[in-house]
Chains A and B, each alone.
Chain A
């Protein structure tokens, strides 16, 4: 079974600084998809960024970028120029696609942004 591990329960970053959230996963599949979701206090699940395993290039979405290391099964999220609105719970998620395209989530990292 696939597992997703987020080893940082909480992180803190100062406004305008950069922070990296870690995620590792375990799978025997060669083709799969990875995501980062943000869950603010409203509890809405917001898709932040995605990465296809077959792509070597790291995904980037504005201030958000990933460092995808397929051999190490590592998928970290970097948030640049942190803003107060970035404060949230961040979940790393995995799916193998195909018929079993359910998401398996990590336990989340709570990010605090301070002035």
Chain B
């Protein structure tokens, strides 16, 4: 079965640079979520999209933005990167419109800011 795809898997950036993370949800899933997991921490919700509209927002810095495109893939844009942004970024998808709240996670993008 197809899973959530994330690219790139690893990314190294310098402070103040910009990064773009991409997510391709499971086919026919209508909701995409972004989470950030710091070292030794649990995943923290950043933002979600339902049918290409932003549906919920968590503790996402103003330096970050995200969108979902017509083909349902999503991108997380991160600007003015800081050392503290180094983390594992997960994308997850679900079929919320069918009442299923199970979220399936991608393998994550490991971002290192130097």
Q: Contact residues of A with B, CB < 8 Å?
A: 33, 35, 37, 42-47, 50, 91, 95, 97, 99-108
Contacts and interface: CB of A to CB of B under 8 A. Distances in A.
A79 to B, nearest CB: 20
Interface in B11-46: 31, 33, 35, 37, 41-45
25 contacts: A33-B101, A43-B88, A43-B108, A45-B43, A45-B108, A50-B102, A91-B42, A97-B99, A97-B101, A99-B50, A100-B55, A100-B56, A101-B31, A101-B48, A101-B55, A101-B56, A102-B56, A102-B58, A103-B33, A103-B35, A104-B45, A105-B42, A105-B43, A107-B42, A108-B42
Interface residues of B, number: 28
Nearest to B107: A44
Nearest to A33: B101
Given A35-B102, A45-B105, A99 B42 contact: no
A47 B101 CA distance: 12
B37 to A, nearest CB: 8
Nearest to B43: A105
Nearest 10 CB-CB pairings of A with B? A45-B105, A105-B42, A102-B45, A33-B101, A97-B101, A100-B56, A101-B101, A95-B101, A102-B56, A107-B42
B56 A99 contact: yes
B43 A103 contact: yes
A47 B108 CA distance: 15
B90 interface: yes
B56 A45 contact: no
A102 B48 contact: yes
A73 to B, nearest CB: 18
Nearest to B31: A101
A43 B101 CA distance: 21
Contacts of B74: none
A103 B33 CA distance: 9
A35 B104 CA distance: 11
